[in-house]
Amino acid sequence: MGEDAPLDDGYIEPSKPREEVRQEPYPLPKDFEWSVLDINDPKQIKEVYDLLSLNYVEDDDASFRFQYSAEFLEWALKPPGYYKEWHLGVRVSSNKKLVAFISGVPVTLRVRGNVFRASEINYLCVHKKLRSKRLAPVLIKEITRQCNLLGIFQAIYTAGVVLPTPVSTCRYFHRSLNIPKLIDVKFTFVPRSMTLARMIRVFKTAAVPHLGGLREMEEKDVSQVAELFTRYMQRFDMAPVMTLDEVRHQFLSGRGDLESPSEKYRRPGQVVWTYVVENPETRRITDFFSFYSLPSTIINHPKHNLLEAAYLFYYATDVVFDAGSEHNGTLNKRLSSLVGDALIIANQAGFDVFNALTLMDNVGFLEDLKFGAGDGLLNFYLYNWRTAPLAGVKAIGGVDAGKGVGVVML
């Protein structure tokens, strides 16, 4: 904290050969034991789900708490090449109850000019009854050791809290969809200058998407989406580098039960929605967008118990490759149309609100699409990697707000 930006990017501590990495697990307080969770076992995913749904992140007034579904966790924790050792739990020795968790999944990250393997650390959680006993630092040290044992010495993670030292800070924005419910649960309110009826009218979305050639992404699109994604992400200072298998996993594998008959825009168990725009003549995929489902428990509400929230995930458009598109407004216009259709689909799929952060090119369309600034911030951190701050909420060093960050963490 407070240090000047480094002159050169690079690691802080050098990597070590495996035999120089500590070989014994870090000690836990007595009565607790380490437990690697088998995410292929539905019983064990359910244990993680139960722990997180009662003890994970809440908003400042303890009105909402993230409720990652079991299907979501399975999708998020098992990308191609995942390591089971990085799904790390702590159990009470006597009754084996799961009381803490932390996870990592492998990613390839590009930060400015450097590309390296890293782990994406997520879902750190300690049971409410075991807080403030310094269990979190032990979990963090142990997952770091597990990463080091497999030759990974860098990590990326996000947190609402400020720790030493964020590489970027982004703000959450919210696009209301289901106004009556959002008002009922006090997620939003009717401003003094408006009536409820007018507010409902203002936020109403169309019944069907507008873009010609828009359809759900399919297996046959994987290579074109991967190519478009890779080219588009060059715009950002920090971004994931994905293989074809990773693109398939991130955008297709969470589509829910494909066999089951379902309502038009949502399948049972669906966690991710990905749509492409196909040019009817050339059959080229010109654009894509995706969003995922992350509901929150509404704590202590007499009528509603679940806030259905969609979160903007990755997107790309080939408009960006036209010279001048960024300055003459055509890029922002295209992104507004794309994400505008995402809002329509999310509304039809039963989401109450659509969330996005001030990262990638989002700042250019949030206002146009009636997103409002939230009070939550998300800090981005790199472990054992030095780089100058990346443009997030604020523009930095000639890079526009948001455009430093091209990583969306689940």
Interface residue with ligand COA, options 136, 183, 190, 200 (CB under 6 A): 136
CB of 48 to ligand COA, least distance (A): 13
Q: Which residue spans within 190-263 are E strands per DSSP?
A: 214-216, 238-240
In the shown chain, the binding pattern of residues 48 to 87 toward ligand COA, with x for contact by CB under 6 A and - for none, equals -------xxx------------------------------
Task: Please say which residue, 144 or 270, places its beta carbon nearer to ligand COA.
Answer: 144
Task: Please say which residue, 131 or 198, places its beta carbon nearer to ligand COA.
Answer: 131
Interaction between residue 298 and ligand COA (CB under 6 A): no
User: Which helix (H) or strand (E) covers residue 97, if one does?
Assistant: none
In three-state secondary structure terms, 153 is coil
Catalytic residue among 77, 98, 369, 410: 410
Show the tokens assigned to 341: 């259709």
CB of 68 to ligand COA, least distance (A): 11
Judge whether 335 counts as a catalytic residue. Answer: no
Distance of CA 181 to CAs 195, 303, 311, 314, 378, Å?
15, 10, 18, 27, 25
Interface residue with ligand COA, options 94, 132, 193, 282 (CB under 6 A): 132
Distance of CA 204 to CAs 103, 302, 303, 373, Å?
39, 26, 23, 19
Where residue 62 falls (left for φ over 0; alpha for ψ -120 to 50; beta otherwise) is: left
**What whole-number distance in Å separates Cα of residue 215 and Cα of residue 164?**
43
Task: Please say which residue, 107 or 126, places its beta carbon nearer to ligand COA.
Answer: 126
Cβ atoms of 285 and 278 within 8 Å: the answer is: yes
Interaction between residue 159 and ligand COA (CB under 6 A): yes
Interface residue with ligand COA, options 5, 54, 162, 163 (CB under 6 A): 163
Show the tokens assigned to 157: 């993670």
Question: Bridge-partner residues for 120, per DSSP?
Answer: 105, 156
CB of 317 to ligand COA, least distance (A): 31
Residue type, 162: V
Interface residue with ligand COA, options 126, 214, 320, 343 (CB under 6 A): 126
Interaction between residue 150 and ligand COA (CB under 6 A): no
Interaction between residue 170 and ligand COA (CB under 6 A): no
CA dihedral of 322, 326, 328, 330, whole degrees rounded to 10: 70
Task: Please say which residue, 39 or 135, places its beta carbon nearer to ligand COA.
Answer: 135
* Closest listed residue to residue 294, CA positions, set 304, 278, 307: 307
CB of 61 to ligand COA, least distance (A): 15
Interaction between residue 198 and ligand COA (CB under 6 A): no
In the shown chain, the binding pattern of residues 95 to 124 toward ligand COA, with x for contact by CB under 6 A and - for none, equals -----------------------------x
Question: Quick one: how far is CA 157 from the chain centroid?
Answer: 11
Interaction between residue 161 and ligand COA (CB under 6 A): yes
CB of 167 to ligand COA, least distance (A): 15
Pairing of strands 114-126, 155-159: parallel
Show the tokens assigned to 45: 């995913």
CB of 82 to ligand COA, least distance (A): 20
CB of 215 to ligand COA, least distance (A): 36
Interaction between residue 383 and ligand COA (CB under 6 A): no
Task: Please say which residue, 36 or 409, places its beta carbon nearer to ligand COA.
Answer: 409
Task: Please say which residue, 135 or 359, places its beta carbon nearer to ligand COA.
Answer: 135
CB of 157 to ligand COA, least distance (A): 7
Cβ atoms of 370 and 172 within 8 Å: the answer is: no
Pairing of strands 309-317, 285-293: antiparallel
Q: Which residue spans within 25-68 are E strands per DSSP?
A: 32-36, 64-66
Residues 6+ positions from 59 with CB-CB distance below 8 Å: 65, 376
Interface residue with ligand COA, options 39, 51, 125, 346 (CB under 6 A): 125
- Helix 244-252 and helix 222-233: axis angle, to 10°? 100
Task: Please say which residue, 51 or 70, places its beta carbon nearer to ligand COA.
Answer: 51
Tell me which stretch binds ligand COA (CB under 6 A): 22-30, 131-139, 198-206, 308-316: 131-139
- DSSP H helices, 56-167, are 70-77, 135-149
Q: Footprint of ligand COA on this chain (CB under 6 A)?
A: 55-57, 124-126, 131-137, 159, 161, 163
Residues that are catalytic:
410
